[in-house]
Structure 1
Amino acid sequence: MSPGRPPSSGSPALAASPVVRCVRSRPQRTVGSELYGQRWMAETAFSAIKRRFGPAVHPRAWYREFRELVLTAAVYNLEQALKQ
Protein backbone atom coordinates (compact mmCIF):
# COMPACT_ATOMS: atom_id res chain seq x y z
CA MET A 1 0.00 0.00 0.00
CA SER A 2 1.45 3.34 -1.01
CA PRO A 3 1.03 6.45 1.13
CA GLY A 4 -1.85 8.67 0.10
CA ARG A 5 -3.96 5.89 -1.41
CA PRO A 6 -6.78 4.35 0.59
CA PRO A 7 -6.89 0.57 0.84
CA SER A 8 -9.08 -0.99 -1.83
CA SER A 9 -10.83 -3.61 0.27
CA GLY A 10 -11.08 -1.93 3.68
CA SER A 11 -10.04 -3.14 7.08
CA PRO A 12 -11.31 -6.56 8.21
CA ALA A 13 -11.51 -5.25 11.77
CA LEU A 14 -13.68 -2.34 10.65
CA ALA A 15 -15.98 -4.59 8.62
CA ALA A 16 -16.54 -6.77 11.69
CA SER A 17 -17.28 -3.87 14.02
CA PRO A 18 -20.79 -3.71 15.51
CA VAL A 19 -21.31 -0.14 14.26
CA VAL A 20 -20.71 -1.08 10.62
CA ARG A 21 -22.96 -4.15 10.94
CA CYS A 22 -25.71 -1.99 12.46
CA VAL A 23 -25.50 0.61 9.70
CA ARG A 24 -25.52 -2.04 6.97
CA SER A 25 -28.51 -3.85 8.45
CA ARG A 26 -30.75 -0.75 8.73
CA PRO A 27 -33.46 -0.52 6.11
CA GLN A 28 -33.03 2.22 3.53
CA ARG A 29 -35.35 5.18 4.03
CA THR A 30 -36.89 6.97 1.11
CA VAL A 31 -38.19 10.49 1.16
CA GLY A 32 -41.96 10.42 1.02
CA SER A 33 -43.89 12.49 -1.46
CA GLU A 34 -45.28 14.65 1.37
CA LEU A 35 -41.80 15.66 2.56
CA TYR A 36 -40.59 16.14 -0.99
CA GLY A 37 -43.50 18.49 -1.64
CA GLN A 38 -42.52 20.59 1.35
CA ARG A 39 -38.93 20.75 0.17
CA TRP A 40 -40.06 21.70 -3.32
CA MET A 41 -42.10 24.62 -1.95
CA ALA A 42 -39.22 25.80 0.26
CA GLU A 43 -36.69 25.63 -2.61
CA THR A 44 -39.08 27.59 -4.82
CA ALA A 45 -39.45 30.32 -2.18
CA PHE A 46 -35.66 30.48 -1.65
CA SER A 47 -35.13 30.81 -5.39
CA ALA A 48 -37.68 33.62 -5.69
CA ILE A 49 -36.18 35.49 -2.73
CA LYS A 50 -32.67 35.20 -4.18
CA ARG A 51 -33.82 36.42 -7.59
CA ARG A 52 -35.68 39.38 -6.07
CA PHE A 53 -33.22 40.49 -3.35
CA GLY A 54 -29.88 39.02 -4.45
CA PRO A 55 -28.04 35.86 -3.43
CA ALA A 56 -25.71 37.35 -0.80
CA VAL A 57 -26.13 38.26 2.85
CA HIS A 58 -23.94 41.29 3.47
CA PRO A 59 -23.53 41.74 7.27
CA ARG A 60 -20.62 40.02 8.97
CA ALA A 61 -22.00 39.50 12.48
CA TRP A 62 -24.35 36.51 12.83
CA TYR A 63 -27.13 38.48 14.53
CA ARG A 64 -27.12 41.07 11.73
CA GLU A 65 -27.20 38.29 9.13
CA PHE A 66 -30.17 36.79 10.94
CA ARG A 67 -31.90 40.17 11.11
CA GLU A 68 -31.36 40.74 7.39
CA LEU A 69 -32.75 37.30 6.54
CA VAL A 70 -35.82 37.81 8.74
CA LEU A 71 -36.51 41.24 7.26
CA THR A 72 -35.99 39.95 3.72
CA ALA A 73 -38.46 37.12 4.33
CA ALA A 74 -40.96 39.57 5.88
CA VAL A 75 -40.75 41.91 2.89
CA TYR A 76 -41.15 38.98 0.50
CA ASN A 77 -44.22 37.74 2.42
CA LEU A 78 -45.74 41.24 2.37
CA GLU A 79 -45.19 41.50 -1.39
CA GLN A 80 -46.83 38.11 -1.91
CA ALA A 81 -49.80 39.10 0.28
CA LEU A 82 -50.27 42.37 -1.62
CA LYS A 83 -50.22 40.58 -5.00
CA GLN A 84 -53.25 38.46 -4.00
Structure 2
Amino acid sequence: MTTGANRILDDFAKLMTDAAGAAQGVRKEAETMFRAQAERFINGMDLVKREEFEAVREMAIKARDENDALLKRIEALEARLNAGG
Protein backbone atom coordinates (compact mmCIF):
# COMPACT_ATOMS: atom_id res chain seq x y z
CA MET A 1 0.00 0.00 0.00
CA THR A 2 2.89 2.37 0.66
CA THR A 3 4.19 1.72 -2.83
CA GLY A 4 0.81 2.59 -4.30
CA ALA A 5 0.60 5.80 -2.25
CA ASN A 6 4.16 6.74 -3.23
CA ARG A 7 3.38 6.10 -6.87
CA ILE A 8 0.30 8.31 -6.68
CA LEU A 9 2.34 11.07 -5.03
CA ASP A 10 5.10 10.65 -7.64
CA ASP A 11 2.56 10.83 -10.46
CA PHE A 12 0.97 13.88 -8.86
CA ALA A 13 4.36 15.58 -8.47
CA LYS A 14 5.20 14.83 -12.11
CA LEU A 15 1.83 16.22 -13.18
CA MET A 16 2.42 19.41 -11.19
CA THR A 17 5.93 19.77 -12.66
CA ASP A 18 4.56 19.34 -16.18
CA ALA A 19 1.78 21.85 -15.46
CA ALA A 20 4.27 24.38 -14.12
CA GLY A 21 6.43 23.94 -17.22
CA ALA A 22 3.43 24.39 -19.49
CA ALA A 23 2.33 27.49 -17.57
CA GLN A 24 5.82 28.95 -17.91
CA GLY A 25 5.77 28.29 -21.66
CA VAL A 26 2.38 29.97 -21.99
CA ARG A 27 3.64 32.94 -19.97
CA LYS A 28 6.71 33.34 -22.20
CA GLU A 29 4.57 33.15 -25.33
CA ALA A 30 2.14 35.73 -23.92
CA GLU A 31 5.04 38.06 -23.08
CA THR A 32 6.43 37.68 -26.60
CA MET A 33 3.06 38.45 -28.16
CA PHE A 34 2.56 41.43 -25.84
CA ARG A 35 5.99 42.83 -26.70
CA ALA A 36 5.33 42.42 -30.42
CA GLN A 37 1.95 44.19 -30.13
CA ALA A 38 3.43 46.99 -28.01
CA GLU A 39 6.29 47.45 -30.47
CA ARG A 40 3.83 47.59 -33.39
CA PHE A 41 1.72 50.13 -31.50
CA ILE A 42 4.70 52.35 -30.67
CA ASN A 43 6.07 52.11 -34.21
CA GLY A 44 2.66 53.15 -35.52
CA MET A 45 2.79 56.32 -33.45
CA ASP A 46 4.78 59.27 -34.72
CA LEU A 47 7.36 59.24 -31.93
CA VAL A 48 10.89 60.59 -32.04
CA LYS A 49 13.79 58.65 -30.59
CA ARG A 50 15.69 60.29 -27.75
CA GLU A 51 18.90 60.53 -29.78
CA GLU A 52 17.12 62.31 -32.64
CA PHE A 53 15.41 64.70 -30.22
CA GLU A 54 18.70 65.56 -28.52
CA ALA A 55 20.42 66.16 -31.90
CA VAL A 56 17.68 68.55 -33.04
CA ARG A 57 17.70 70.24 -29.65
CA GLU A 58 21.44 70.87 -29.90
CA MET A 59 20.98 72.24 -33.43
CA ALA A 60 18.25 74.61 -32.19
CA ILE A 61 20.45 75.85 -29.32
CA LYS A 62 23.34 76.45 -31.72
CA ALA A 63 21.06 78.28 -34.19
CA ARG A 64 19.65 80.46 -31.40
CA ASP A 65 23.15 81.35 -30.19
CA GLU A 66 24.24 82.19 -33.74
CA ASN A 67 21.09 84.29 -34.21
CA ASP A 68 21.80 86.21 -30.99
CA ALA A 69 25.40 86.85 -32.11
CA LEU A 70 24.25 88.09 -35.53
CA LEU A 71 21.67 90.36 -33.91
CA LYS A 72 24.38 91.94 -31.76
CA ARG A 73 26.58 92.47 -34.83
CA ILE A 74 23.69 94.09 -36.71
CA GLU A 75 22.95 96.37 -33.75
CA ALA A 76 26.62 97.36 -33.54
CA LEU A 77 26.75 98.09 -37.29
CA GLU A 78 23.55 100.13 -37.11
CA ALA A 79 24.94 102.09 -34.17
CA ARG A 80 28.13 102.85 -36.17
CA LEU A 81 26.06 103.92 -39.19
CA ASN A 82 23.85 106.18 -37.09
CA ALA A 83 26.84 107.70 -35.30
CA GLY A 84 28.66 108.43 -38.54
CA GLY A 85 25.74 109.67 -40.52
- TM-score when scaled to structure 2? 0.28
- TM-score when scaled to structure 1? 0.28
Tell me which structure has the larger Cα radius of gyration: 2
User: RCO (CA 8 Å, sep 6+): is it higher in 1 or 2?
Assistant: 1
